[in-house]
Amino acid sequence: MNRPSKLGRMDWFLLVVALILCGIGLMNAYSGSRVHGVPGTALVTKQLAWILLGVAGFFAVYFLSDGFIEEITYGFFLAVLLLLVVVLLAGRVRGGAQRWIAFGAFNLQPSEFAKIAVTFALARYFSGKYRYGGFGLVEVLPAIGIVLVPFLLVALQPDLGSAGVFLFIFAGMAVVACVRGKVLGFFAGAGAAAIPALWFFMKDYQRQRVLTFMDPERDPLGAGYHVIQSKIAVGSGGFFGKGYLQGTQGSLRFLPEQHTDFAFAVFAEEWGFLGSLLLLVLFLLLVHRLFFLTVRSQDRFASFACGGIAVFFLTHIVINLAMVCGLFPVVGIPLPFVSYGGSSMLTNMMALGAAANLSRSRFTFQGGGGKGREIAS
């Protein structure tokens, strides 16, 4: 039997869905960056460059030889931690938080890379210790350490939204990696108990956001403004939408961050419920595929890593959409592939590349595909 080439064993489905989402994002950025009716092509060009760079990143990661990713996982993790320290010490301050490192013409956001680094580090740890019967509390503690360090570094920036994503990834990975039900329950309980303590550590603007989330009308022109305007954008789209380039909430600048975190509001206003449904279906296909790869991967590291990546995307998608339609406090979480933003585009593409890389071994023998459907049935 001929071993098919790497390209032949590629999971094209992932890349195609991602590129469709990128296309939607690009189109949406064109409309969303309109200022007073004039489209901003500069931003669209930049985003296109990021997409191309992202695709290159996808293949760069994809073509890494088998086992390489697992090998460099901890090194990568340490390098990202270093970057997080650097950004804390010498990063750019924007909007009250220190999140960016200037890198030539681009601004990098190391917290984006940290999310993937944590995912892989956890996958490496859990796969190394794996045994039947699941993990107990003692085995889970080092994993908590792996999450806690970057979590604190990001939370200090302060970027509570991204920091929260670490917790979601950890929780998701703990489920996939078969941490015992009792232990999961213990952490869930501890987490719930920690919420009041968390309130204590929050900065003032963060508390405002939470309070405003509970009741946006308490400050309609201040902190509640984002949520109210975003809900108006989504709601006014109606069933069929106002039509492409016909949205008013974004172009007249009622929406904040209309091409980054609130990109979906612009989309939902112009494409309505039908557009929202389409976008949800595309995201579901992506997440479903990643879980399929989790189940079908040939070794545990690959399996856990794919599961982690699935949770990573799921977290971003759900939090962003929930935030835009007023179900979640406003946090700086972009919508994968759709929101404008270089670091997140690069991270997302490389994460997909890694998922494709890790799962290609299941194509070592022909006919490995197709069975994945059963988990969705």
Q: Does 7 bind other proteins (CB under 8 A)?
A: no
Q: Does 38 bind other proteins (CB under 8 A)?
A: no
Q: For other proteins, how many residues bind (rule: CB under 8 A)?
A: 62
Q: Does 13 bind other proteins (CB under 8 A)?
A: no
Q: Does 234 bind other proteins (CB under 8 A)?
A: yes
Select the residue interacting with other proteins from 37, 95, 104, 196 (CB under 8 A).
37
Q: Does 296 bind other proteins (CB under 8 A)?
A: yes
Q: Does 307 bind other proteins (CB under 8 A)?
A: yes
Select the residue interacting with other proteins from 268, 282, 349, 358 (CB under 8 A).
268
Q: Does 348 bind other proteins (CB under 8 A)?
A: no
At 369, list the tokens. Answer: 């595909």
The CB-of-196 to other proteins minimum distance in angstroms stands at: 25
In the region spanning residues 133 to 162, those forming contacts with other proteins, defined by CB under 8 A, are 134
Select the residue interacting with other proteins from 314, 349, 356, 358 (CB under 8 A).
314
Select the residue interacting with other proteins from 54, 57, 91, 172 (CB under 8 A).
172
Rounded CA gap, 131 and 128, in Å?
9
CB distance 153 to 109 below 8 Å = no
Rounded CA gap, 111 and 91, in Å?
12
Select the residue interacting with other proteins from 31, 119, 229, 344 (CB under 8 A).
229
CB distance 92 to 100 below 8 Å = yes
In the region spanning residues 242 to 261, those forming contacts with other proteins, defined by CB under 8 A, are 248-249, 252-254
CB distance 342 to 104 below 8 Å = no
The CB-of-89 to other proteins minimum distance in angstroms stands at: 35
Select the residue interacting with other proteins from 52, 78, 102, 376 (CB under 8 A).
376
Stretch binding other proteins (CB under 8 A), from 40-48, 67-75, 300-308, 350-358: 300-308
Beta-sheet pairing, 97-103 with 106-108: antiparallel
* Residues paired with 98 in a beta bridge: 93
Rounded CA gap, 306 and 73, in Å?
14
Q: Does 74 bind other proteins (CB under 8 A)?
A: no
Tell me if residue 35 falls in helix, strand or coil: strand
DSSP code per residue over 38-81: B--HHHHHHHHHHHHHHHHHHHHHHTSPTTHHHHHHHHHHHHHH
Select the residue interacting with other proteins from 13, 106, 244, 273 (CB under 8 A).
273
Closest alpha carbon to 236 in 263, 275, 265, 277: 265
The angle subtended at Cα 47 by Cα 105 and Cα 95, nearest 5°, is 60
In the region spanning residues 98 to 137, those forming contacts with other proteins, defined by CB under 8 A, are 132, 134
Q: Return the axis-axis angle of helices 263-296 and 12-32, rounded to nearest 10°.
A: 170
- How many CB atoms are closer than 10 A to CB 295? 15
Stretch binding other proteins (CB under 8 A), from 54-62, 150-158, 236-244, 349-357: 236-244
Give the CB-side neighbour count of residue 321, counting CA atoms within 13 A: 16
Give the gyration radius of the chain's Cα atoms: 21
Stretch binding other proteins (CB under 8 A), from 58-66, 93-101, 307-315, 343-351: 307-315
Closest alpha carbon to 55 in 10, 108, 114: 10
Select the residue interacting with other proteins from 44, 165, 287, 305 (CB under 8 A).
287
What is the DSSP secondary structure assignment for residue 23, as one 8-state letter?
A: H
Residues that bind other proteins (CB under 8 A): 36-37, 132, 134, 172, 175-178, 221, 229, 231-239, 248-249, 252-254, 268-269, 272-273, 276-277, 280, 283-284, 287-288, 291, 294-296, 298-300, 303, 307, 310-311, 314, 318, 321-322, 325-327, 364-365, 367-368, 370-371, 375-376
